Amino acid sequence: MSQRTIGTLTAAALALSMHALVGAQSPHGGAGTTLQPGPNVNAAAGIVDLRDPAALLKADLNLQRQNETVAAASVRNPDHILAAANDYRFVDFPDDPGYGGGQSFIARLIARVFRRPPARPVQRAAAAGAWTGVYRSCDRGRTWIGSAVPGGPLDESEAAQQSPLKALSNAAAASGAHAETTDPVLVAGPDGRMHLVVLGFVRFPNGAVGESRLYYVSYTDRNNREGGTCFHYDFTRQVDAGALARPTSMSRSIRPKA
């Protein structure tokens, strides 16, 4: 066997070895690797600074409920994952007897931790409901940071003021009702675009529900930051509206101003 042939075979063997090594260390481990689930991670958990005004958005400090979760990985960077869910962190806190109405956030948190009864009996408002929580992970799901679709009843941010969901929230409040969003659907698109669709509606104090509206919420993975908030909120658009499938005598329609 010539020296040239031996060199060629050695190079080929080295290439195969490197391919096997890289394949074993890759996220998928190669085509023949058996899939193995990782540990469960609470996307709404996390330690945040209680002095942070967005602490209630970044983590579920009061152990509320989240359901109907959807998640998708960015096409631009699969390490970046966006998730959404019906999130009850955004209920009207003064109407929750577990917090003690009229107290500061820290006092309510301590009351919840030590299960201290409120200073005065309060009734939970029938209008209090969920909003769509949004959770971002920039490290393949190991850690998460929470947020919410802009425009909720308690959201006074600049992004919220430009959202049609804020118009719905304001119109609901003017009628003594409460705006909610539900049923999130999330799809990853090309170029890091993340397409989120939610159902928005108004719930009145007597339990009646107003006309449903469909909203499209756009996020983009710009893939230009390591850690932190790797998804950028773009905008929200109302894309559809329709009356209830089975309207009742109590059901009413609410039309927010444009």
| DSSP state for residue 221 in the 8-state scheme | E
Closest CA to 100 of 155, 62, 50: 62
The tokens for 169 are 């929230």
In terms of Cβ atoms closer than 10 Å to its own Cβ (0-12, 13-18, 19+), residue 120 is exposed
What's the pLDDT at 125?
38
Tell me the β-bridge partners of 231.
221
The tokens for 145 are 């940071």
Other CB atoms within 10 Å distance of the CB of residue 69: 16
Query: What residues contact 157, with CB distance under 8 A and at least 6 apart?
Result: 150
What's the pLDDT at 131?
92
Tokens 């509320």: give the residue: 64
* Chain center to CA of 154: 16
User: Could you give the CA distance from residue 202 to residue 151 in angstroms, rounded to a whole number?
Assistant: 13
Closest CA to 69 of 15, 168, 141: 141
What's the pLDDT at 50?
67
pTM: 0.68
Task: Calculate the alpha carbon distances from 213 to 57, 165, 180, 181, 254 in Å.
Answer: 24, 10, 11, 9, 10
The tokens for 235 are 């905008």
Please give the biggest Cα pair distance in the chain: 93
Closest CA to 252 of 214, 198, 199, 206: 206
The tokens for 100 are 């003690």
SS3 65: coil
Q: Rg of the Cα trace of the chain?
A: 24
**Tens digit of each residue's pLDDT, the chain (258 residues):** 555 554 544 444 444 444 444 444 445 556 677 777 777 887 776 666 767 767 667 777 767 788 899 999 999 999 999 999 999 887 755 444 444 444 455 555 555 555 444 444 333 333 367 899 999 998 888 888 888 999 988 788 899 999 999 999 999 988 888 899 999 999 999 999 999 999 999 988 887 888 889 999 999 998 887 655 689 999 999 998 875 455 544 444 555 554
The tokens for 52 are 């942070």
User: Could you give the CA distance from residue 135 to residue 82 in angstroms, rounded to a whole number?
Assistant: 6
The answer to whether the beta carbons of residues 202 and 188 sit under 8 Å apart is no
What's the pLDDT at 257?
52
